[in-house]
Amino acid sequence: MCASPVMTTSGEEVDYALRVSDLGKSYAKADGTGFRLHQVTMDLPMGYIMGLIGPNGAGKSTLIRLLLNMTRRDSGAISILGRDPLSQEEEVKADLGVVFDSIYFPEAWKVKAVEPVMAPMYPSWDSDRYHDYLRRFGLLENRKIGKLSRGMQMKLMLAVALSHDARLLILDEPTSGLDVLARDELMDILLDYIGDGCHSVLFSTHITADLERVADFVTYINRGSVFYTGPKDELMEAFQIVRGGPDDLAGGQMPHLMGLQRSATGFEALVPTERLKDFLASASPTAMEPSEDRYLVERADFDNIIRLTAGPPAAADKNKEVES
């Protein structure tokens, strides 16, 4: 299920911070296993925040590495801020701010060594802004980078990323080492950052509560393919979670499901909103209660969607088991 953001607003063309089309990358191992990122297509309009979600190993970090030319793509095209990151790598990267899930500076360096290294790399480096962020984040310049906590290391990378007027921020799991207050602060910074409509953010995360607060768009990658890309609200409205007892799921309901998890006490099913009526109508006619009373139906959140669609292939077997 894919949706593209609207191409035009009030008749004018939308500027895109990031456009990816049919991006592919395969890794093959000697033992026959491997990983494939398959025909990834997504668009991030300028001035918005896009969340990149998916289970571990889905391909989020691989996608980010492909965007940064840290690994070679097998196929497809990428446009960052309207430019080709292969032929115009230096110009593109001068406009990018990047935060990884772990520090990219040598750990033996002190915090004060970072600015002399980074400032000359970026023509628009703003030393005052950088030092403001250091103060705001409580980063002491004489501390060794390796001695900083993971959260503080992330803040150091963020301070660098925000100090050279990057037009696109790419953040790979930036909130994973942060407590709730620091995550809130980061989300506020990101909202401030895109406020002028000229800056955009792409960030991958496991903590989907952050996304629900700040993201305008979501790309959900599952097993190397894009499951959904488009406005966040559309995804959140697209699915309902249905819960019921262990005997409440009939074989006739299976075609209406997108995902299923069963336990001894019952089941949870992910049902597309437009098929909810059909799902309820297909309930077993032998049941005593009407289907509306038998099932608990509520809007699915990101965690539910990921949990119920990202299961291993064994989930399909479970489905067959129910059908039989």
Partner 1 sequence: MKAIAEQIRLDMQRFSGAGRTWVGVLIFLSAPVIGILLNLVMALTGNDGDDARTALTGLVAGMGIGLIVGLVSGLFVDFSNAAIRLNGLLPITRDHQVFGRYAAVSLLVLVQSCGYAIFYFCVADSFLQGQDHWRATVLFALGLFMSESLLFAVAAPLFYWLEMAKAVIAFLALLGLVPITALVGSWLPFGWGAVWNSIMRFLTSDLWRPVLLGLAVILAADMVSIAISRKVYARKEI
Residues near partner 1 (CB under 8 A) are: 65, 68-72, 89-94, 96, 98, 100, 102-110, 112-114, 116-117, 120-122
- Residue closer to partner 1, measured from CB, 93 or 206: 93
Least distance (Å) between residue 91 CB and partner 1: 7
Helix axes 127-137, 150-162, angle to 10 degrees: 160
For residues 17 and 315, give the distance between their C-alpha atoms in angstroms, rounded to a whole number.
37
Residue 62 tokens read as 């691989």
**Does an H or E element contain 203, and which?**
strand 200-204
**Does an H or E element contain 27, and which?**
strand 16-28
Least distance (Å) between residue 235 CB and partner 1: 29
For residues 112 and 134, give the distance between their C-alpha atoms in angstroms, rounded to a whole number.
10
Least distance (Å) between residue 88 CB and partner 1: 10
- Residue closer to partner 1, measured from CB, 71 or 79: 71
- Residue closer to partner 1, measured from CB, 58 or 98: 98
- Residue closer to partner 1, measured from CB, 165 or 278: 165
Least distance (Å) between residue 175 CB and partner 1: 18
| 162 and 131 Cβ atoms separated by less than 8 Å | no
* Helix (DSSP H) and strand (DSSP E) numbers for the chain: 12, 15
Least distance (Å) between residue 112 CB and partner 1: 8
- Residue closer to partner 1, measured from CB, 61 or 282: 61
Helix axes 180-193, 150-162, angle to 10 degrees: 10
| 266 and 273 Cβ atoms separated by less than 8 Å | no
Least distance (Å) between residue 106 CB and partner 1: 5
Q: Which residues of 179-191 are buried (b: 16+ CB within 10 A; e: fewer)?
A: eeebbebbbebbe
| 173 and 204 Cβ atoms separated by less than 8 Å | yes
- Residue closer to partner 1, measured from CB, 91 or 317: 91
